[in-house]
Structure formats: C-alpha cells, structure tokens
Amino acid sequence: MNNLVERRPRILTGDTPTGRLHLGHWVGSLENRIRLQDDYECFFLIANMHAFTTRVDKPEDIRRDTLEIAKDWLAAGIDPERSTLVLQTEIPAIAELSWYFAMLLPFNRVMRNPTLKTEIELKGLGDHYSFGFPLYAVGQCADILIFRPELVPVGEDQVAHIEMCREVGRRFNWTYAGVDPQAQDEDHVPLGGVFPIPRALVGRVGRLVGTDGKSKMSKSLGNAIFLTDTAKEIKKKISALYTGRQTMTEPGDINNALFQYVRAFIKNPARVAELETKYAAGDNLGDGHVKAEVAAAIDELLGPMRERRAALEGEGGDKRVLEILRAHCAKANAVAEETLYAAKQAMKLDFGRRSLLF
C-alpha cells in the first residue's frame, strides 16, 4: 500500500502568503528547514488557498505575496535543487483529502483548537469569520499528510495544529487501514497505515516576540522585522523597542523583548552572558548600546539573504520563481496523487487511477 520503506524521511512545512517572511519565521522554522535539507526529502508549501481565509477580497495581494515568499525562501537558503516548493492551489489532491479529513474530525474538536482561538482574537475576527476560516485547520492536516512526512518544522503556535493532524492521521489509519487503535505512532506505517504520524519540530525560539514587545512577531500584526529589511529599517525598528528602563544604572529585566533578541541573534554565547549580567545588575550598560549590538547582529544575518534576493527582483526574478514552482508542483503532484490513491483505496473509493497534466 505504501512505499515508505526505501525513501529518505520527509519534511513538510510551509507559510501562508499573508505578507513577507520575518525573523520569527527564521528562528521558528526556516532555520531548521535549511539545516535539514540534506538529511530529509523536503517539501515546502505556500498555503495560498488558506490566505483567502482572511483576505478573500485581495487576490492580487495574495499572488504578490506568494511570489515574495518563494523569493524569501530562496534568499534564505532553501535550495530548489534539493527541496521541492509546493503551491497549494496547484495540488488538487490536497483539497480532496481535506474533505475526507473533515469527516473524521468532530466539529467541536476543530473549534476548540487553541491556535484557531488565538488567531481569531489576535486578528480581530470576532464572530464574523468565514466558514473557510476554521476549515483551514482541517485543510492543513491534508497539506501535511498528503506528503506523508515524518517531521514538520514549525513555530510553537502551530503545535496545536500538528496535534490535530496527528489525531486525524491516526483516526484514518484505524478506520480505513486496519491499524489497531492501541498501536504506537511509529508502528502505524509498518502495520499498513496510509499515513505516518508526523512529529512537530519547534525551532530554537518557538515564539519570537514582535517589535511591539507583546504579541508574537507576525506578518499580519505590523510588528515584524522582515528578512528583506535594510540595515536602516532594522536599526529603526530595534531602536523603537520599548523597555521602560530610564538609566543605565537601573537594573534591567533580561526577559524583556530586547533581551529575547539578544539571545536569539547575538551569536557569541560569552557576549550574551556578559550583556545579561551587566544589564541585570545595572552596570553601566545602556539600552542604546544593547540595541546597536542587536541591530548589527540581525543585519549580519540578513545581509547575505538581501544579496541573494536582489538577484531575484523584477520580472526576471518572477519568471525564475514561476518556472521553479511549475516544475516542482509537477513533482509534488506525483507524490500527492500517489498518497490520495492509497487513501482512496483504503476507503474503497478506488474506481480508477487518474493522471494530472500541467
């Protein structure tokens, strides 16, 4: 039923084109994706269908951000020779599998998902969000499982979604593939399950705070340092960070947003420890000085990405990205169609194989 034995373990993860990528993406997930490209067969998905859940009237913006995200990935170090870039709307099997999964998940289970609840609150969606909004959480289970990955590198806010994905994978395997409900997660595939039960891999900083010092850095909340920001923009955003500290002899709080950035971006651990000790003791270390060091460290990280991205600007860049997406989606469809057929076989829906032409 499946051909999981001979292949490299797989990774699937992705981003929604609701804006450009920021430092939260880097520390939460992107860094891990780049690091693991050699050891895993990687699929990175742009969730452009899900972008419509909050931007139904903004098709141009979604299209623009789709290309921006692909460019951000390439600039950050995702290698199109090793990894597969997937455009959600070009993979019809995902939408089909989402329907079958929607029937395996109790409605109240979906609505209890804490990530959805937080998003509704953070994005001010009140009670006027579309039916498609909670449905995206179900769709995300299909985005992931259609590629039958072992690992899903994500930020902390996504762990609840991955948990739901694991639940639906187990339930599918019990219901249609004869897997014993007592089976351990890692035994599902050897026991004939269609889907492996994937694990979330949370990045080195699971939830990077935004420049407002409060909420998660998020592309929709206007509190992000983007991977494309210039040295000047980085400096400006970091200088504006509010710490509430008045003088450099006042003991500072090393858990404030500024020090979260110190730990996330200054590479030398000895220097981080020194800054923490001095700041906590109020030992003549001004916020301005710490901010300048943090801004320089961020600029050092983003500088090479800016250079690689410059090569992808303009029409030539768009053309290159579209070519990659087209070729990669053909490959992704072959994988997705194989999984969907295995799922439909298990569900007694194998009335004939189909092939997709792109």
List contacts with ligand ATP (CB under 6 A).
Answer: 15-16, 18, 24-25, 27-29, 154-155, 157-158, 206-208, 216-220
CB of 246 to ligand ATP, least distance (A): 28
Q: How far is the CB of 14 from ligand ATP (least distance, A)?
A: 7
Query: CB 317 → ligand ATP: shortest distance, Å?
Result: 21
Q: How far is the CB of 237 from ligand ATP (least distance, A)?
A: 14
Rounded to whole angstroms, the Cα distance separating 308 from 302 reads: 10
By beta-carbon proximity to ligand ATP, the closer residue of 157 and 287 is: 157
End-to-end alpha carbon distance in the chain: 26
Measured CA distances, 108 to 111, 114, 134 (Å): 5, 12, 11
HSE-up (13 A, CA, CB side) for residue 91: 38
Give the residue with the Cβ less far from ligand ATP, 145 or 346. 145
> For the CA atoms of 168, 139, 76, 263, what is the dihedral angle to 10 degrees?
-60
Pick 29 or 84: Cβ nearer ligand ATP = 29
Q: How far is the CB of 151 from ligand ATP (least distance, A)?
A: 13
- Rounded-to-integer distance, Cα 332 and Cα 41, Å: 12
Under 8 Å between Cβ of 245 and 90: no
- Nearest position to ligand ATP, beta carbon: 28
Output 27 or 34, the one with its CB closest to ligand ATP.
Answer: 27
Nearer to ligand ATP, 170 or 216 (CB): 216
Q: Which is nearer to ligand ATP, 168 or 209 (CB)?
A: 209
Rounded-to-integer distance, Cα 21 and Cα 16, Å: 10
Q: How far is the CB of 21 from ligand ATP (least distance, A)?
A: 8
Query: For residue 92, what are the contacts with CB-CB under 8 A and spacing of at least 6?
Result: 333, 356
